[in-house]
Each structure stands twice: as structure tokens, then as C-alpha cells.
């Protein structure tokens, strides 16, 4: 077994890590960290547990410690669910102390020597780890996963990018409240309402997507060169981000071929049969009224992206439209980091 720790274990994403790792066959939770507010308490006393499941036995009695590498003993991998400003300071400290950091936070995502990885999309970007360790003199290293809306979008763009010429991608999101963290969106702001702004989300979707689909040449990443424009909105849904995607293609296409491209898509996690890998990363729904967050967010234990309403635009020529749903705290956060760690332990 590999000993793992969770940084920011009491938060929304931290709880998903604990839920998903509670019965993991290869990873054993041995350390949990949070802020000074929680440090020193047993996990079950420190956390306001919000998930439907029970707190896994393995985590209940662990004493939460301060988020400091000196407090985390005999751990090989730490999963980071920290706010970005805290992650920017402490994640490098954990890597310097020799641990592998699989991070959800945005702090290190755009560093040129830190891989930003979706295992089905760009596992080859893990090559950057060697450069990172050399540049920084660390025994450990940091690997990041993208932001929650970007993961779902890019998983669907990858097979299209490999098979078609994409000119421009427009995406409009309807994002769940859990994406903002436990104390993120006040109920008075969101019930009977939506909020048409999520700070820095559009910029993340527009840059991370192109980085993920970019080519690595001799340690330099050349981002993909089509345009991405995003408009991001918070809606009164608990879990599961929905996105309406519009793609201007270079050439005409058949809807049936696009659907087949989605269905056939498989990546390295499927080939390696990694524990958290969905058998089908993209599920195509035929019904006019799917995908929906309540019905589709848990597809393949929350690790698949569901796509529906695949169609040609009736107004603009060579324009493809579809709707997708992905689970933001599973595929979009904790599950994504765990799959990164499974890939790392399998191939590195």
C-alpha cells in the first residue's frame, strides 16, 4: 500500500478525497491536514461532513494536523484540496520534503515545469516532472489537474481535436454550487436565482484547455492554436457542472461520426485498467432531455462525462453543438487527482 495524505481534508474537495480513498486498493489514508482551526481535532470532530455517504472508518479517528510537511510523517503522496493562495506556499514545501503532490489547486497549474494533466488526454506531459525536479532541486514533485469545468470540456474536445480541425470553441457553463466550496455561495444569493460570474473561471477554461491539448517539444509546451471563449455561470444545482458547447469546425461533418468518435474514445487509464478509470470516459445520451446533472453526474462513479444533444447548428455552417455534464468534485477535482496519482504510480 502507498501511504497518502490529504491537504485541506475538511473542505468540499477534501471530503471527496476521503470518500473516494476510503476503500482504495492501493492507497491508504494516513494523514489529514487543514487550517489551524481544525488542527489537533479528530477528523470526525473537525469536519462538517456534507456528503451522502458516511465518513470512512479509516479517517474518523485520524488527528488533523496543521498543513506543514514537518507534521506529515511517512507519506508518499499528498492530495491537495487547499485554497490556491495557501497551495502556492505549501505545495512546494511538500515537494521539497520529498513527497509527490497531486494538486487540485490552481496555484501551480501554469508553471512551465509543472504538468497539468488529464490522464486520458495528455499523460505524456508527465515528462515535465524530470525538468521540475532538476530546476528546483526537489526529491518530490507537483502534478496538477485542471479546473472542474475545463476537465469535462477537454475530455470531450480531445477526440474531436484528434479527428477534426477545430477553429473556435464557445462554451457556456451552468456550474454547481459545490464548485465554490462549503462556504462559497450564500443561499440568499443562489436560491431562485443564478449568478452570471465566477471569478477567474473563464480565463482558466480559455488557457488550461489549450495547454492540455498542446504538444510538448524538448521541455517546451506549445498550446493548441484554436480559440476558446467561455462564459461561466453559477446555478442552483448541488453537484454536477453542465456546459453548452459550440464548435466552429474547418470542414463539414456528420453528427453520427462525431457521436461515434465520442463513444470510441479511450485513453491510457483505460488501457492500463487503472482503478478509478471509467470504462467509457464519454457517455453519449440519445434522449433530447439528457444529460442532466441530477441524473448523469454519477455516471461511472462520477468519473465519466455525459454528452447529449449532439447536433449541427441550423444557422451557422460547419458548427457542431452539444451539451455535457461532469461531476465537478469527482471527475472535476478529487477523482481527477486520484487518477493522476494512479497513473504516476503505474508508469513512473
Closest contact distance (angstroms) between CB of 87 and ligand NAP is 6
- Residue 251 buriedness (CB in 10 A; 0-12 / 13-18 / 19+): exposed
- Looking at beta carbons only, is 14 or 140 nearer to ligand NAP? 14
- Name the residue number minimizing CB distance to ligand NAP: 11
Per DSSP, which regions of the chain are E strands?
Answer: 2-7, 27-34, 65-66, 77-80, 100-103, 141-144, 166-174, 215-217, 220-222, 227-231, 241-249, 282-284, 305-312, 319-326
Closest contact distance (angstroms) between CB of 230 and ligand NAP is 15
Instruction: Find the helix packing angle between 255-264 and 148-163, rounded to 10°.
Output: 120
- Looking at beta carbons only, is 117 or 160 nearer to ligand NAP? 117
Q: DSSP 3-state assignment of 295?
A: helix
Residue 347 CA, distance from chain mean position: 20
- Looking at beta carbons only, is 154 or 328 nearer to ligand NAP? 328
Whole-angstrom Cα distance, residue 92 to residue 88?
7
Known catalytic membership, residue 241 = yes
Whole-angstrom Cα distance, residue 59 to residue 146?
26
CA angle 293-297-299, nearest 5°? 140
- Looking at beta carbons only, is 30 or 178 nearer to ligand NAP? 178
- Looking at beta carbons only, is 152 or 320 nearer to ligand NAP? 152
Work out the number of other CB atoms within 10 angstroms of the CB of residue 156. Answer: 24
Work out the number of other CB atoms within 10 angstroms of the CB of residue 214. Answer: 17
Closest contact distance (angstroms) between CB of 55 and ligand NAP is 14
Closest contact distance (angstroms) between CB of 84 and ligand NAP is 5
Residues that bind ligand NAP (CB under 6 A): 8-14, 34-35, 37-38, 67, 81-84, 86, 104-106, 147-148, 178-179, 181-182, 328-329, 332-333
- Looking at beta carbons only, is 179 or 291 nearer to ligand NAP? 179
Closest contact distance (angstroms) between CB of 132 and ligand NAP is 20
Closest contact distance (angstroms) between CB of 297 and ligand NAP is 12
What are the cell numbers at 133? Answer: 525536479
Work out the number of other CB atoms within 10 angstroms of the CB of residue 182. Answer: 15
107 Cβ contact list (under 8 Å, min separation 6): 84, 85, 87, 88, 91
Residue 73 CA, distance from chain mean position: 27
Catalytic residue among 148, 232, 319, 327: 148
Contact 7, 71 (CB under 8 A): no
Known catalytic membership, residue 24 = no
Q: Which of 100, 59, 64, 103 is nearest to 81 (CA)?
A: 103
- Looking at beta carbons only, is 60 or 321 nearer to ligand NAP? 60
Catalytic residue among 24, 125, 232, 241: 241
Closest contact distance (angstroms) between CB of 304 and ligand NAP is 17
Indicate which residues carry an active-site annotation. Answer: 148, 241
Amino acid at each position: 500500500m502507498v501511504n497518502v495524505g490529504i491537504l485541506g481534508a475538511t473542505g468540499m474537495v477534501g471530503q471527496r478525497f476521503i470518500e473516494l480513498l476510503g476503500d482504495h486498493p492501493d492507497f491508504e489514508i494516513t494523514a489529514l491536514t487543514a487550517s489551524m482551526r481544525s488542527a489537533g481535532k479528530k477528523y470526525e470532530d473537525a469536519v462538517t461532513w456534507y456528503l451522502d455517504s458516511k465518513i470512512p472508518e479509516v479517517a474518523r479517528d485520524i488527528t488533523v494536523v496543521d498543513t506543514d510537511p514537518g507534521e506529515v510523517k511517512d507519506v508518499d503522496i499528498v492530495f491537495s484540496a487547499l485554497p490556491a493562495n495557501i497551495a502556492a506556499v505549501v505545495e512546494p514545501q511538500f515537494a521539497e520534503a520529498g513527497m509527490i503532490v497531486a494538486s487540485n489547486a490552481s496555484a501551480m497549474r501554469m508553471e512551465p515545469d509543472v504538468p497539468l494533466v488529464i490522464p486520458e488526454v495528455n499523460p505524456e506531459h508527465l515528462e515535465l516532472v524530470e525538468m521540475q525536479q532538476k530546476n528546483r532541486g526537489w526529491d518530490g514533485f507537483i502534478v496538477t489537474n485542471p479546473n472542474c469545468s475545463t476537465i469535462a470540456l477537454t475530455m470531450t474536445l480531445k477526440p474531436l481535436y484528434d479527428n477534426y480541425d477545430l477553429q473556435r470553441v464557445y462554451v457556456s457553463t451552468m456550474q454547481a454550487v459545490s464548485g465554490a466550496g462549503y462556504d462559497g455561495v450564500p443561499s440568499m444569493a443562489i436560491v431562485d436565482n443564478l449568478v452570471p460570474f465566477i471569478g477567474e473561471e473563464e480565463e482558466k477554461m480559455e488557457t488550461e484547455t489549450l495547454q492540455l491539448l498542446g504538444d510538448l517539444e524538448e521541455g517546451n509546451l506549445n498550446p493548441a492554436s484554436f480559440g476558446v471563449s467561455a462564459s461561466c455561470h453559477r446555478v442552483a444545482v448541488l453537484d454536477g457542472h453542465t456546459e453548452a458547447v459550440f464548435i466552429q469546425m474547418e470542414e463539414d461533418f456528420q453528427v453520427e461520426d462525431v457521436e461515434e468518435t465520442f463513444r470510441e474514445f479511450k485513453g491510457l487509464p483505460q488501457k492500463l485498467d487503472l482503478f478509478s478509470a471509467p470504462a467509457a470516459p464519454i457517455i453519449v445520451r440519445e434522449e433530447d432531455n439528457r444529460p442532466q446533472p441530477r441524473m448523469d453526474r454519477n455516471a461511472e462513479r462520477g468519473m465519466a462525462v455525459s454528452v447529449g444533444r449532439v447536433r449541427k447548428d441550423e444557422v451557422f455552417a460547419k458548427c457542431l453543438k452539444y451539451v455535457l455534464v461532469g461531476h465537478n468534485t469527482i471527475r472535476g477535482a478529487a477523482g481527477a487527482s486520484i487518477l493522476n496519482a494512479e497513473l504516476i504510480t503505474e508508469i513512473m
